[in-house]
């Protein structure tokens, strides 16, 4: 259940980070940088959980 919620959250964050609208072209790399940081933190937490518990 938690992994499904995490995947949905990451997909929503990725969708929000895409410069799909004309006004978002001025944002530069900020949304992508935030998404990348969140992705790195989530991957680090998953690795720690797998190493500690042996499962997700």
The pLDDT of residue 52: 86
Domains held by the chain: number: 1
Q: What whole-number distance in Å separates Cα of residue 25 and Cα of residue 5?
A: 29
What does pTM read for this prediction?
A: 0.58
Sorted by sequence, the CB contacts under 8 Å of residue 25 that are 6+ apart come out as 19
For residue 49, what are the domain limits? 2-18+27-53
| pLDDT string in tens for the chain (56-residue length) | 677 787 788 778 777 777 677 776 777 777 778 877 888 888 788 788 878 887 65
């Amino acid at each position: 259940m938690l992994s499904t919620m995490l995947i949905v959250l990451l997909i929503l964050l990725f969708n929000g980070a895409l410069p799909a609208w004309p006004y978002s072209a001025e944002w530069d790399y900020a949304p992508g940088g935030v998404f990348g940081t969140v992705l790195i933190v989530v991957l680090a937490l998953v690795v720690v959980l797998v190493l500690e518990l042996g499962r997700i």
